[in-house]
Amino acid sequence: TQLLEQSPQFLSIQEGENLTVYCNSSSVFSSLQWYRQEPGEGPVLLVTVVTGGEVKKLKRLTFQFGDARKDSSLHITAAQPGDTGLYLCAGEYNYGQNFVFGPGTRLSVLP
Protein backbone atom coordinates (compact mmCIF):
# COMPACT_ATOMS: atom_id res chain seq x y z
CA THR A 1 0.00 0.00 0.00
CA GLN A 2 1.41 3.35 -1.03
CA LEU A 3 1.35 6.00 1.68
CA LEU A 4 2.47 9.59 1.65
CA GLU A 5 3.23 11.64 4.72
CA GLN A 6 3.42 15.41 4.78
CA SER A 7 4.99 17.72 7.31
CA PRO A 8 4.24 19.98 8.93
CA GLN A 9 0.48 19.48 9.07
CA PHE A 10 -0.13 23.13 9.91
CA LEU A 11 2.01 26.19 9.35
CA SER A 12 1.22 29.78 10.21
CA ILE A 13 3.75 32.42 9.21
CA GLN A 14 4.06 36.14 8.60
CA GLU A 15 4.10 37.65 5.13
CA GLY A 16 7.62 37.76 3.74
CA GLU A 17 8.93 34.67 5.54
CA ASN A 18 10.29 31.60 3.77
CA LEU A 19 9.02 28.07 4.37
CA THR A 20 9.53 24.48 3.30
CA VAL A 21 7.02 21.64 3.40
CA TYR A 22 7.91 18.00 2.95
CA CYS A 23 6.31 14.95 1.39
CA ASN A 24 7.75 11.52 2.26
CA SER A 25 7.07 7.90 1.43
CA SER A 26 8.73 4.51 1.55
CA SER A 27 7.39 3.85 -1.96
CA VAL A 28 8.85 4.83 -5.30
CA PHE A 29 6.60 6.83 -7.58
CA SER A 30 6.57 7.36 -11.33
CA SER A 31 6.00 11.04 -10.68
CA LEU A 32 4.99 13.29 -7.87
CA GLN A 33 2.62 16.20 -8.07
CA TRP A 34 1.85 19.16 -5.87
CA TYR A 35 -1.64 20.64 -5.72
CA ARG A 36 -3.09 23.60 -3.86
CA GLN A 37 -6.64 23.52 -2.61
CA GLU A 38 -8.75 26.39 -1.33
CA PRO A 39 -11.80 25.92 0.89
CA GLY A 40 -14.82 24.53 -0.94
CA GLU A 41 -12.90 23.90 -4.16
CA GLY A 42 -11.09 20.99 -5.78
CA PRO A 43 -7.28 20.74 -5.77
CA VAL A 44 -5.46 22.61 -8.54
CA LEU A 45 -2.21 21.27 -9.99
CA LEU A 46 0.92 23.35 -9.29
CA VAL A 47 3.68 21.16 -10.67
CA THR A 48 4.69 17.65 -11.68
CA VAL A 49 8.18 16.25 -11.07
CA VAL A 50 9.23 13.10 -12.88
CA THR A 51 13.01 12.59 -12.70
CA GLY A 52 14.88 11.82 -9.49
CA GLY A 53 16.69 14.95 -8.29
CA GLU A 54 14.59 17.20 -10.51
CA VAL A 55 14.07 20.80 -9.41
CA LYS A 56 11.31 22.98 -10.80
CA LYS A 57 10.59 26.62 -10.09
CA LEU A 58 7.27 28.36 -10.37
CA LYS A 59 7.80 32.03 -9.50
CA ARG A 60 8.47 32.02 -5.73
CA LEU A 61 7.83 28.26 -5.39
CA THR A 62 10.63 25.72 -5.77
CA PHE A 63 9.85 22.01 -5.98
CA GLN A 64 12.36 19.19 -5.66
CA PHE A 65 11.96 15.46 -6.27
CA GLY A 66 14.22 13.20 -4.20
CA ASP A 67 16.94 11.22 -5.96
CA ALA A 68 15.18 7.94 -5.15
CA ARG A 69 11.79 9.31 -6.24
CA LYS A 70 10.31 8.65 -2.80
CA ASP A 71 10.08 12.17 -1.43
CA SER A 72 9.68 15.79 -2.41
CA SER A 73 9.84 19.27 -0.97
CA LEU A 74 8.14 22.56 -1.70
CA HIS A 75 9.91 25.76 -0.75
CA ILE A 76 8.15 29.12 -0.84
CA THR A 77 10.22 32.31 -0.77
CA ALA A 78 8.77 35.53 0.64
CA ALA A 79 5.34 34.07 1.32
CA GLN A 80 2.29 36.20 0.60
CA PRO A 81 -1.28 35.98 1.94
CA GLY A 82 -2.35 34.68 -1.46
CA ASP A 83 -0.25 31.56 -0.81
CA THR A 84 -2.65 30.54 1.96
CA GLY A 85 -4.24 27.15 1.31
CA LEU A 86 -3.95 23.40 1.65
CA TYR A 87 -0.89 22.01 -0.13
CA LEU A 88 -1.24 18.38 -1.20
CA CYS A 89 1.35 16.08 -2.66
CA ALA A 90 0.25 13.12 -4.77
CA GLY A 91 2.26 10.16 -6.02
CA GLU A 92 1.56 8.49 -9.34
CA TYR A 93 1.90 4.70 -9.29
CA ASN A 94 0.87 1.57 -11.14
CA TYR A 95 2.13 2.97 -14.43
CA GLY A 96 0.08 6.10 -14.12
CA GLN A 97 -3.18 4.36 -13.44
CA ASN A 98 -3.60 5.68 -9.96
CA PHE A 99 -2.59 8.36 -7.48
CA VAL A 100 -2.23 8.47 -3.72
CA PHE A 101 -2.48 11.74 -1.81
CA GLY A 102 -0.81 12.91 1.35
CA PRO A 103 -2.88 14.44 4.17
CA GLY A 104 -1.80 17.96 3.21
CA THR A 105 -0.07 20.92 4.82
CA ARG A 106 -2.40 23.74 5.74
CA LEU A 107 -0.55 27.03 5.27
CA SER A 108 -1.72 30.35 6.62
CA VAL A 109 0.22 33.49 5.67
CA LEU A 110 -0.69 36.46 7.81
CA PRO A 111 -0.39 40.01 6.46
Partner 1 sequence: DTGVSQDPRHKITKRGQNVTFRCDPISEHNRLYWYRQTLGQGPEFLTYFQNEAQLEKSRLLSDRFSAERPKGSFSTLEIQRTEQGDSAMYLCASSSTVAGANVLTFGAGSRLTVL
- Contacting positions for partner 1 (CB under 8 A): 4, 6, 30-31, 33, 35, 40-45, 48, 50, 88, 90, 92, 96-104, 106
Query: What is the residue-wise DSSP string for 18-58?
Result: -EEEEEE-SS--SEEEEEEE-TTS--EEEEEE-STT-EEEE
Residues in a beta bridge with 96: none
Where does residue 103 fall: left (phi above 0), alpha (psi -120 to 50 degrees), or beta otherwise? alpha
Q: How far is the CB of 8 from partner 1 (least distance, A)?
A: 13
Cβ distance to partner 1 smaller for residue 15 or 57: 57
Could you tell me the smallest distance in angstroms from the CB atom of residue 42 to partner 1? 3
Minimum CB–partner distance for residue 102 and partner 1 (Å): 5
